[in-house]
Chain A
Amino acid sequence: MTSAPRLSLHVPEPTVRPGGRPDFSHVAVPEAGEVPRPPIDVNPSDIRDFAYTMIRVLDDKGDAVGDWAGGLKSDDLRKGLRDMMLTRAFDARMLLSQRQGKTSFYIQCLGEEAIATAHRKALKPGDMCFPTYRQQGLLIAYGWPIVDMMCQIFANEKDRLKGRQLPGLYSSKEAGFFTVSGNLGTQYPQAVGWAMASAISGDSRIASGWIGEGATAESDFHSALVFASVYRPPVILNVVNNQWAISSYQGIAGGESAKFAARAHGFGIPSLRVDGNDYLAVYAASLWAVERARANLGPTLIEWVTYRAGAHSTSDDPTKYRPKDEGTAWPLGDPIERLKTHLIRIGAWSEERHRQMQAEVDAEILEAAKEAESHGTLHDGPKPSAATMFEDVFKEMPRHLREQRQQLGV
Chain B
Amino acid sequence: MARLSMVEAIRDAMDCKMAEDERVVVFGEDVGYFGGVFRCTDGLQRKYGKSRCFDAPINESGIVGVAIGMGAYGLRPVAEIQFADYVYPGYDQLVSEAARLRYRSGGDFFAPIVIRMPCGGGIYGGQTHSQSPEAVFTHVCGLKTVIPSNPYDAKGLLIAAIEDDDPVIFLEPKRLYNGPFSGHPDQPVTPWAKHLLSEVPAGRYVVPLGKAAVRREGRGVTVLSYGTMTHVAEAAAEETGVDAEIIDLRSLIPLDIDAIQTSVEKTGRCLIVHEATLTSGFGAELAAQVMERCFYALEAPIERVAGWDTPYPHAEEWDYFPGPARVGRALLKAMEA
By a beta-carbon cutoff of 8 Å, the part of chain A in contact with chain B is 128, 130, 160-162, 164-165, 169, 171-173, 178-179, 181, 183, 186, 188-201, 207, 219-220, 223-224, 226-227, 230, 392-395, 398-400
Contact = CB atoms under 8 A, between A and B. Distances in A.
Interface stretch (B4-12, B102-110, B295-303): B102-110
Sort A-B residue pairs by CB-CB distance and give the 7 closest, nearest first: A193-B69, A189-B65, A193-B66, A223-B62, A197-B73, A179-B105, A190-B69
Nearest to B96: A183
Contacts of B89: 219
A217 to B, nearest CB: 14
Contact of A160 (B70, B103, B106, B255): B106
A223 B51 CA distance: 20
A179 B104 contact: yes
Interface in B91-111: 92-93, 96-97, 101-110
Contacts of A207: 69
B110 to A, nearest CB: 7
A164 B67 CA distance: 24
Contacts of B144: 394
B141 interface: yes
A189 B70 contact: no
Nearest to A162: B106
Given A394-B142, A398-B254, A226 B59 contact: yes
27 contacts: A161-B105, A171-B109, A172-B108, A178-B72, A179-B108, A181-B97, A181-B104, A186-B92, A190-B97, A192-B66, A193-B65, A193-B68, A193-B72, A195-B69, A197-B77, A198-B73, A199-B51, A200-B52, A201-B73, A223-B61, A227-B66, A392-B103, A393-B103, A395-B165, A398-B253, A398-B254, A400-B255
A223 B59 contact: yes
A387 B57 CA distance: 43
Interface string B50-92: 0110001101011001111111111101000000000001001
Nearest to B257: A399
B210 interface: yes
B166 interface: yes
Contacts of B66: 189-190, 192-193, 196, 227
Given A162-B106, A201-B75, A181 B96 contact: yes
B105 A186 contact: no
A197 B144 CA distance: 23
B25 interface: yes
Nearest to B73: A197
B106 A186 contact: no
Given A200-B51, A230-B57, A220 B106 contact: no
Contacts of A186: 65, 92-93, 96-97
Nearest to B101: A179
A183 B142 contact: no
Contacts of B70: 193-194, 196-197, 200
A196 B69 contact: yes
Given A193-B65, A201-B73, A227-B65, 13 more contacts: A130-B69, A160-B108, A171-B105, A171-B106, A192-B65, A195-B69, A197-B73, A197-B75, A223-B59, A227-B66, A392-B106, A394-B102, A400-B257
Instruction: Name B's interface SS.
Output: mixed
Contacts of A201: 73-75
A199 B166 CA distance: 23
B274 to A, nearest CB: 19
Interface in B112-138: none
A86 B103 CA distance: 30
B126 to A, nearest CB: 25
A275 B127 CA distance: 50
A227 B62 CA distance: 7
Contact of B72 (A169, A172, A194, A230): A194
A244 B97 CA distance: 25
Given A183-B92, A197-B70, A199-B51, A227 B106 contact: no
Given A223-B59, A399-B257, A164 B106 contact: yes
B255 to A, nearest CB: 7
A9 to B, nearest CB: 27
Nearest to A179: B105
Contacts of A165: 104
